[in-house]
């Protein structure tokens, strides 16, 4: 099992690609405009746990007391802190950040497709798959931290396939500041030997230090919480038609095509397959303990989209780069 999850590291090429920056910037602007159109109708909404993130940002501004905070939402501090730091209305700032984060995630997914050799059509498809989805319409406009997590994971995957483990580690540290389960990215990066052990341990220590500082110093004194798996919780989830519909709609075309693409994926995507398996464990545990919805699938989009493109190769007009796996010792 360990050999399957953490095999010999894949040597992604570090050779920079020659991008035509004019078309890339035009595509990025197009992604941003499309994301704004998709998100506009639900801009700045608060529902369920989004209200807790909103209250966290308001607490950082001194607008509500600490008694308004509910764990574990205040521990996911980075995005609410950024929204609170920007001058102006907190609600609008939060929604604006989420729009920028979704747009950036789409642009980085497109760059990942280019890096993997799927060409212009594959890059456009990657960005559209992320933006033109039910989660982007339904969840991204709300005051949630999930867009920040998706963006951090997109940055991690782009850095990984570009042969830049330091940038991947940085994305993992920032992602942990957004949502705590992103620390799994750093565990995988280190255990899979995609980064040297010194650099990997340093990144992991930085992420752990941030989590401890937030919980015991920056946002301290909140009542403890536990997520305990139970059969009753699972049975309740199976009767929650709204949650099941949310998961099915989030899966959309991306998940079925990704599962199909895994059978024909080139060697350069094999590390992402194992990373995807690990990153699916936190939402699976949450499903056994608390209510989950389509965001559990949405959070995996940065790892799923490359496999979706692999399944769509006949329609994209260009194959992925025929890179051969090379083993290297971690530096």
What are the structure tokens assigned to 162, written together?
A: 């570009």
The average confidence (pLDDT) of the chain is: 87
| Burial class for 65, CB neighbours closer than 10 Å (0-12, 13-18, 19+) | exposed
> CA–CA separation, 23 vs 46, rounded Å?
36
Within-domain flag for 249: yes
10 Å CB burial of residue 72 (0-12, 13-18, 19+) is: middle
pLDDT at 189: 94
Does residue 159 have a pLDDT over 60?
Answer: yes
Asked if residue 4 is part of any domain, the answer here is no
- Between 203 and 11, whose confidence is greater? 203
Q: Residue 179 above 90 pLDDT?
A: yes
The 10s digit of each residue's pLDDT in 44-75 is: 888 778 999 999 999 999 999 998 999 889 99
Choice among 225-239, 242-256, 301-315 with the minimum mean pLDDT: 225-239
> In sequence order, what are the residues at sequence separation of 6 or more whose Cβ sits closer than 8 angstroms to the Cβ of residue 323?
13, 266, 267, 268
Least confident interval from 157-161, 194-198, 251-255, 312-316 = 312-316
Q: What burial class does residue 117 get, using C-beta atoms within 10 Å of its C-beta: 0-12 exposed, 13-18 middle, 19+ buried? A: middle
Backbone φ, ψ for residue 245 (5° rounding): -65, -40
- Residue 114 clears pLDDT 50, i.e. is over it: yes
Q: Give the separation between CA 96 and CA 36, rounded to whole angstroms.
A: 9
Whether 275 is in a domain gets the answer yes
For residues 87 and 65, give the distance between their C-alpha atoms in angstroms, rounded to a whole number. Answer: 20
Are 79 and 73 within 8 A, CB to CB? no
Can you tell me the distance from the alpha carbon of 91 to that of 144, in angstroms, rounded to the nearest whole number? 11
> 114 in a domain, yes or no?
yes
User: Is residue 146 predicted with pLDDT exceeding 70?
Assistant: yes
Q: What is the pTM of this model?
A: 0.91
Terminal C-alpha separation, the chain? 25
Task: List, in sequence order, the alpha helices (H) in 61-145.
Answer: 78-85, 90-115, 119-131, 134-138
Q: How many helices (H) and strands (E) does the chain have?
A: 19, 0
For residue 326, pLDDT over 50 is answered with no
Structure confidence at residue 8 as a pLDDT band (50, 70, 90): low
Domain count, the chain: 1
In a domain, 136, yes or no: yes
C-beta separation of 190 from 200 below 8 A: yes
Whether residue 14 lies inside any domain: the answer is no
The range of the structural domain enclosing residue 269 comes to: 25-218+230-316
Evaluate whether residue 15 is within a structural domain: no
pLDDT surpasses 50 at 330: no
331 in a structural domain: no
**Cβ distance 218 to 56 under 8 Å?**
no
Structural tokens at position 295: 């965001």
Dihedral Cα 96, 97, 103, 109, nearest 10 deg:
-160
């Amino acid at each position: 099992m360990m050999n399957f999850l953490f095999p010999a590291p894949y040597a992604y090429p570090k050779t920079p690609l020659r991008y035509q920056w004019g078309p890339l910037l035009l595509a990025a602007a197009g992604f941003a405009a499309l994301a704004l159109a998709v998100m506009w109708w639900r801009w700045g909404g608060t529902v369920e746990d989004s209200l807790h993130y909103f209250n966290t940002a308001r607490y950082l501004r001194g607008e509500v007391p600490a008694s308004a905070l509910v764990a574990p939402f205040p521990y996911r501090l980075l995005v609410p802190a950024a929204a609170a730091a920007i001058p102006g209305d907190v609600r609008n700032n939060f929604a604006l950040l989420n729009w920028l984060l979704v747009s950036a995630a789409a642009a980085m997914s497109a760059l990942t497709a280019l890096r993997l050799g799927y060409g212009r059509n594959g890059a456009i498809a990657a960005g559209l798959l992320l933006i033109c989805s039910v989660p982007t319409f339904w969840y991204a406009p709300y005051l949630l931290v999930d867009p920040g997590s998706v963006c951090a994971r997109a940055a991690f995957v782009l850095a990984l396939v570009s042969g830049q483990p330091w940038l991947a580690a940085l994305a993992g540290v920032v992602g942990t500041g957004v949502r705590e389960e992103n620390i799994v990215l750093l565990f995988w990066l280190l255990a899979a030997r995609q980064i040297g052990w010194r650099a990997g341990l340093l990144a992991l220590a930085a992420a752990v230090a941030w989590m401890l500082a937030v919980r015991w110093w920056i946002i301290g004194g909140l009542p403890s919480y536990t997520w305990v798996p139970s059969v009753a919780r699972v049975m309740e989830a199976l009767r929650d038609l709204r949650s099941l519909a949310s998961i099915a709609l989030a899966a959309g075309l991306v998940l079925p095509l990704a599962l199909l693409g895994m059978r024909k994926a080139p060697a350069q995507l094999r590390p992402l397959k194992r990373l995807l398996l690990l990153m699916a464990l936190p939402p699976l545990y949450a499903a056994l303990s608390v209510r989950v919805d389509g965001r559990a699938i949405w959070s995996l989009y940065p790892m799923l989209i490359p496999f979706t493109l692999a399944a769509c190769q006949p329609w994209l007009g260009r194959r992925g780069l025929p890179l051969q796996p090379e083993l290297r010792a971690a530096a």
